[in-house]
Amino acid sequence: MATLDLPTTGRRIESYTTRPPRDWPRAEPPFNRIAFAAAHVVADPLAEHDPWIEPAIDWDRTIAFRRHLWSLGLGVAEAMDTAQRGMGLDWRNSLELIRRSLDAARDVPGAIVACGAGTDHLQPGPDVTVDAVIRAYEEQCAAVEKLGGRIILMASRALAACARGPDDYIRVYQRVLGQVRQPVIIHWLGEMFDPALAGYWGHADHMKAMDVCLDVLAANAAKIDGIKISLLDKDKEIAMRRRMPKGQRMYTGDDFNYAELIAGDAEGHSDALLGIFDAIAPAAAAALGCLRRNDLSTFHEILGPTVPLSRHIFRSPTRFYKTGVVFMAYLNGHQDHFTMVGGQESARSTLHLAELFRLADAAGLLADPERAASRMRLVMAQRGIAN
């Protein structure tokens, strides 16, 4: 196994030796849970551009990663916040990403794609109205549907900025949902993921906001497949899951408690739409295969060690979790560099990346520990740690 020097607290450097790679049980999809991985985009490090101003995407590697997810039986939630949507990835490139992903999926039997439609081409400001938000949603929904895509209706920063209360949210969602061709997934992203979404549904209190959201789900039941909530609070998710209209799905976005929520309880379970499934895809697929075989013990044995890694990747400031997701893809050979759209490879500290490496190794998520260690040495050298 590989040995390398990694930093730890107190400005100390310690030797670390990797474990043998994990041999995952056969996944054997289809699963008895719907499971989407919110997939990242691969930046093009050789493009002639200004990374803080315009995105440059390696389309071949980006689509190859989606093929990797499909090969494991996972669906792809496309152009979501894991792809740095609205945080480096603009609407024009998001739509091109959606087009390419849908085209690629047609060649893969059983491949599932759901596509983010929002209002991110509309910049929040004092002159933005609720009607402008509706028009922005309509534009993006129409564009996704024209490509044959299924919609994930993303939370809107512009709506959060201009809404005067719950009635404005109800009006926007009823208007937009009344026009969609097939049932959508509603996306409620908490302020820990995006501070601009604080007070969504017209209330700072999540439980009061939940009441408004549930009213929208009930009033538009025929147009809604389910909802993905990302509040990092399992009790709130379970409480909402038990109150949802019959037939609608709860897609967990809880990257802290996903194992428990997917396993469920006597009153129900959550399906999954998770950014962490990008980083832990082989383990996630193997665990879902065990769940399908009613092997709950192995399901938890596989996913249990991934939870400390996920909590580390999604630690506050949570919005920087994309850095850890892309770093995992780099360590595991899905891309040849640790460069991100918008230069966000710099968003996490050297100590953070070192602990991520240790936790990924402990969870058996380094597919080739020798390669991962070699790449880790390069990153550490760039940050002043000789190996």
268-288 per-position pLDDT tens digit: 999 999 999 999 999 999 999
Question: How far apart are alpha carbons 228 and 82 in whole angstroms?
Answer: 14
Predicted confidence (pLDDT) per residue in 121-172, tens digit: 999 999 999 999 999 999 999 999 999 999 999 999 999 999 999 999 999 9
Phi, then psi, of 47 in degrees rounded to 5: -70, 145
The amino acid at residue 265 is D
Residue-range domain boundaries for the chain = 26-339
In this predicted structure, what is the pLDDT of residue 35?
98
8 Å CB contact between 154 and 118: yes
- Give yes or no for residue 40 having a pLDDT over 90: yes
> Among candidates 324, 363, 356, which has minimal Cα distance to 340?
324
Average pLDDT over residues 2-17: 95
Question: How far apart are alpha carbons 55 and 98 in whole angstroms?
Answer: 15
Calculate Rg over the CA atoms of the chain.
20
Q: Is 307 exposed, middle or buried (0-12, 13-18, 19+ CB in 10 A)?
A: buried
8 Å CB contact between 321 and 280: no
Q: Is 14 exposed, middle or buried (0-12, 13-18, 19+ CB in 10 A)?
A: exposed
Average pLDDT over residues 248-268: 97
8 Å CB contact between 351 and 9: yes
- Give yes or no for residue 27 having a pLDDT over 90: no
Average pLDDT over the chain reads 96
8 Å CB contact between 28 and 295: no
The beta strand positions in 39-147, using DSSP E, are 75-78, 113-117
In this predicted structure, what is the pLDDT of residue 260?
97
Predicted confidence (pLDDT) per residue in 77-127, tens digit: 999 999 999 999 999 999 999 999 999 999 999 999 999 999 999 999 999
Predicted confidence (pLDDT) per residue in 178-215, tens digit: 999 999 999 999 999 999 999 999 999 999 999 999 99
What fold characterizes domain 26-339?
Answer: TIM Barrel (3.20.20)
pTM of the model: 0.96
Coil/strand/helix, residue 5:
strand
In this predicted structure, what is the pLDDT of residue 25?
87
In this predicted structure, what is the pLDDT of residue 92?
96
In the block, tokens 């969609």 appear at 180
In this predicted structure, what is the pLDDT of residue 79?
98
Q: Torsion-angle region of residue 355: left (phi > 0), alpha (psi -120 to 50) or beta?
A: alpha
Average pLDDT over residues 56-72: 97
In this predicted structure, what is the pLDDT of residue 49?
81
Distances (CA, A) of 152 to 19, 229, 256: 39, 12, 22
SS (H, E, C) 281-316: HHHHHHHHHHHHCCCHHHHHHHHCCHHHHHHHHCCC
Q: Is 144 exposed, middle or buried (0-12, 13-18, 19+ CB in 10 A)?
A: buried
Question: How far apart are alpha carbons 284 and 287 in whole angstroms?
Answer: 5
Which has more pLDDT, 117 or 26?
117
31 pLDDT band, cuts 50/70/90, is: very high
Question: How far apart are alpha carbons 224 and 36 in whole angstroms?
Answer: 17
In this predicted structure, what is the pLDDT of residue 120?
96
